[in-house]
Structure 1
Amino acid sequence: MDEHKINMLSDKIVKGTISEQEMEEFNEWYATYENLEQNVTTDENQEALAERIFKNITTEANLQISKPHRIKMWPRIAVAASFALVLGISLFYYSEKQADKMRQTAYLKNIKPGGNGAILTLADGRKIRLDAATKGELANEAGVRITKTKDGQILYEVKEATSAKDKINTLSTAKGETYTITLPDQTKVYLNAASSLSYPASFATLNERKVELNGEAYFEVSKDSSHPFIVRTTDQEIKVLGTHFNVNSYKEDGNTKTTLLEGSVSVGFSYNKNETDVIIKPGEQAYIKANKIYVDQVKTEDAIAWKNGYFRFNNETLEQAMNKISRWYNVSIEYKDPNIKSRNVYGSLSRFSSIADVLNLLELTDAVKFEIEANKIIVLKK
């Protein structure tokens, strides 16, 4: 093996990029290093080679190793000693690199995509873990019968309209959970991860069908022209008669965004009733910024991708994308360089993909790379 090849392989070992075949080749050469003098003809060249490799290894490995005093020794012993040091350091860093890869693989296997799950909190404080509950009747409270269907959805059946109007129920999902519910007025709601929806057990005697949302939900509102349906978030109040729309009110994502798919909705401030509401049309998204309501044309499929089982990163920031990943895979996010949060990312894939596939997609931007520590994703700049 010539000097160039020896240097190349030793460098690869230290950096952890050497292949199994190359490692075998290096080991075979080292086992017969006595033949080195056939490739390096002079004592001076042998000593120079040993010194260069010693310097290269300690520099690459970032080690503080004192260079031995120069003493007179046989050239072959000098070379062998240097390569013994090379091999020891190399194998240490190679094994550490391999161990780190094994840890990363184990962490990736432990992080699973989310699924169906939620807790229903009744007006009397009782909590029902819905994904663990069997199908059939879950509760019969103040004239309202609550059941779970065979496909896991929750249905309300009002028997005594007057007794349930002030009974507030709350459906809440944790990170990694989503759930679908049919409200007492037959409005269907898809609740995203890390969200909650509070609503009366019956709307029958109320002038308005008002619910409160934290997080994100997609609504398919049943038509009732005499009883407007109102969704209240931290900063928005959305009023409709019968329509399909999505509301994203996650605090970490900034302002509440209401996206309309069909029908018509009125969007106003939840905290300032003196401001004029804004009417939006299908394909539009309303959001509040600096105490003003703005309306943009958007791709509605991006807004409801989560409900349809997909991630769609369409020119959104890395931070927004990582927030979605955090909520769905139930992981925390750490940024080594906060400036990377504002980078735009693109891509689409199933929400039921492995976490490795999702991170690989984001790495295609050539801007970031990821490390995993237990249930934490570390975002680094490339």
Structure 2
Amino acid sequence: MDEHKINMLSDKIVKGTISEQEMEEFNDWYATYESLEQNVATDKNQEALAERIFKNITTEANLQISKPHSIKMWPRIAVAASFALVIGMGVFYYSAKQADEMRQTAYLKNIKPGGNGAVLTLADGRKIRLDAATKGELANEEGVRITKTKDGQILYETKGTASAKDKINTLATAKGETYTITLPDQTKVYLNAASSLSYPASFASLNERKVELNGEAYFEVSKDSSHPFIVRTADQEIKVLGTHFNVNSYKEDGNTKTTLLEGSVAIGFSSNKNETGVIIKPGEQAYIKANKIYVDQVNTEDAIAWKNGYFRFNNETLEQAMNKIARWYNVTIDYKDPNIKNRNVYGSLSRFSNIGDVLNLLELTEAVNFEVEGNKIIVLKK
């Protein structure tokens, strides 16, 4: 084997990219080392080559080992000793790297994207696991029939003069879950992961259609000019008559953000009724900061990407992106360097992608690397 081929194979050992066939070829070459002088000019050249490979492997593997010395050895024995140590280290590093990659692959395979799932808590305290419930009627609360449709959604139907206005129901999703519900007034709500929505089982005889949200949801509100639809979060009160809008009120994401797609929305303060609110138009997003309401022009597709089955990272911080990943794949995030949380990231990918593909997309920012341990994603600075 010539020096070029030896160099090529040794470099592959260092990088962990050598194939089984190439590793076998490298070992066969070493086994016939006693005839090595026929292939390469001098023992001196071979010793220099061994030292170069040794240096590459120790540098790549971050090992603190003294290089093999050949003082007082016969030249060929010295070179053989050098190569024996180099090959041993190379095989060890190659095997260790392969084992680590296999562990990473196994971890990634065990982390699945989210899907349909939620728990419905009725007014009497009963809890119904919706993804496990059979299709058809789930409960009847004083004239309000609650059913699970053929496509797995929850539907409220009011018959006659239902008196369930004081019966508060709560739909809650865990990490890795999402669910769709049609409320008693026919308003459709798409609930994102790690979120909850509380609402009366019937809006009959109520002046307002009021619900409370923690987390994120997309609303398609049925029109009823005499009965405003109100969404309350920790810091916002959103009043509409009939419109389409998204509300993100995750605590870890900061303040509530309301994004309007259709119609008009009045934004006020949950805690202070005396403060002046604002009315936003389609394409605008409102949020509260330091007791003041701010309005920005935004790309609404970014806000509702989750509902349409996508991750869209459009100039978001790494922390915001990782929060979305943590909620959807039900993982925890560990930052080895907290300073990288504010790095901006970009990209778009299906929410049903393997988590490895999502992490690879973020690594293209050239700001971070990731390691996976069980259900924990470790974020490393490049």
Query: How do 1:204-223 and structure 2 match up within 5 A?
Result: 204-223=204-223
Checking the alignment, whether the CA contact within 8 Å between 1:322 and 1:333 is kept in structure 2 is yes
Hey, what's the Cα distance between the residues in 2 that align with 1:52 and 1:346? 40
Checking the alignment, whether the CA contact within 8 Å between 2:9 and 2:26 is kept in structure 1 is yes
Hey, what's the Cα distance between the residues in 1 that align with 2:313 and 2:43? 62
Shift of 1:209: 0.8
Shift of 1:186: 1.0
Query: How do 1:1-382 and structure 2 match up within 5 A?
Result: 1-3=1-3, 6-7=6-7, 9-20=9-20, 22-39=22-39, 41-42=41-42, 44-51=44-51, 53-65=53-65, 72-159=72-159, 161=161, 163-382=163-382
Checking the alignment, whether the CA contact within 8 Å between 2:211 and 2:230 is kept in structure 1 is yes
| Stretch deviating more after TM superposition (209-218 or 345-354) | 345-354
Shift of 1:281: 0.7
Shift of 1:345: 1.8
Hey, what's the Cα distance between the residues in 2 that align with 1:53 and 1:191? 57
Shift of 1:172: 0.3
Change (3 A) 1:78 1:109: same
Hey, what's the Cα distance between the residues in 1 that align with 2:267 and 2:13? 61
Shift of 1:64: 4.0
Change (3 A) 1:112 1:43: closer
| Stretch deviating more after TM superposition (205-214 or 16-25) | 16-25
Change (3 A) 1:43 1:165: closer
Change (3 A) 1:67 1:122: same
Shift of 1:167: 0.9
Q: Deviations over 1:174-204 (max 9, x none)?
A: 1111111111111111101110000011111
TM-score, normalised on structure 2?
A: 0.93
Hey, what's the Cα distance between the residues in 2 that align with 1:361 and 1:166? 48
Q: Deviations over 1:252-294 (max 9, x none)?
A: 1111100111111100111111110100011111011111100
Shift of 1:16: 2.1
Hey, what's the Cα distance between the residues in 2 that align with 1:220 and 1:50? 70
Change (3 A) 1:268 1:105: same
Checking the alignment, whether the CA contact within 8 Å between 1:161 and 1:202 is kept in structure 2 is no
Hey, what's the Cα distance between the residues in 2 that align with 1:68 and 1:28? 22
Shift of 1:226: 1.3
Could you list the runs of 4 or more consecutive aligned residues of structure 1 that deviate by over 6 angstroms after TM superposition?
none
Task: Please state whether the residue corresponding to 1:161 is helix, strand or coil.
Answer: coil
| Stretch deviating more after TM superposition (368-377 or 250-259) | 368-377
Change (3 A) 1:149 1:42: closer
Shift of 1:106: 1.3
Checking the alignment, whether the CA contact within 8 Å between 1:175 and 1:194 is kept in structure 2 is yes
| Stretch deviating more after TM superposition (347-356 or 167-176) | 347-356
**Equivalent pairs, count:** 382
Hey, what's the Cα distance between the residues in 2 that align with 1:243 and 1:33? 79
Checking the alignment, whether the CA contact within 8 Å between 2:47 and 2:82 is kept in structure 1 is no
Q: Deviations over 1:67-97 (max 9, x none)?
A: 6776533222222122111111111110011
| Stretch deviating more after TM superposition (249-258 or 142-151) | 142-151
Shift of 1:142: 2.6
TM-score, normalised on structure 1?
A: 0.93
Hey, what's the Cα distance between the residues in 1 that align with 2:155 and 2:139? 11
Hey, what's the Cα distance between the residues in 2 that align with 1:48 and 1:179? 65
Overall identity of the aligned pairs, in %: 91
Shift of 1:135: 0.7
Checking the alignment, whether the CA contact within 8 Å between 2:182 and 2:188 is kept in structure 1 is yes
Checking the alignment, whether the CA contact within 8 Å between 2:43 and 2:79 is kept in structure 1 is no
Checking the alignment, whether the CA contact within 8 Å between 2:146 and 2:156 is kept in structure 1 is yes
Checking the alignment, whether the CA contact within 8 Å between 1:9 and 1:18 is kept in structure 2 is yes
Hey, what's the Cα distance between the residues in 2 that align with 1:284 and 1:47? 69
Checking the alignment, whether the CA contact within 8 Å between 1:197 and 1:214 is kept in structure 2 is yes
Unaligned runs of 5+ in 2: none
Change (3 A) 1:193 1:57: closer
Task: Please state whether the residue corresponding to 2:234 is helix, strand or coil.
Answer: coil
Checking the alignment, whether the CA contact within 8 Å between 1:143 and 1:158 is kept in structure 2 is yes
Unaligned runs of 5+ in 1: none
Q: Deviations over 1:184-235 (max 9, x none)?
A: 1111111011100000111112111110000000111111111111000001
Q: Deviations over 1:280-317 (max 9, x none)?
A: 01111101111110001111111111111111112212
Task: Please state whether the residue corresponding to 1:108 is helix, strand or coil.
Answer: helix
Change (3 A) 1:317 1:50: closer
| Stretch deviating more after TM superposition (68-77 or 102-111) | 68-77
| Stretch deviating more after TM superposition (36-45 or 113-122) | 36-45
Q: Deviations over 1:139-176 (max 9, x none)?
A: 11233211111111111122364631111100000111
Checking the alignment, whether the CA contact within 8 Å between 1:192 and 1:306 is kept in structure 2 is yes
Hey, what's the Cα distance between the residues in 2 that align with 1:115 and 1:19? 38
Checking the alignment, whether the CA contact within 8 Å between 1:173 and 1:195 is kept in structure 2 is yes
Hey, what's the Cα distance between the residues in 2 that align with 1:45 and 1:166? 89
Q: Deviations over 1:118-150 (max 9, x none)?
A: 000001110000010011110112332111111
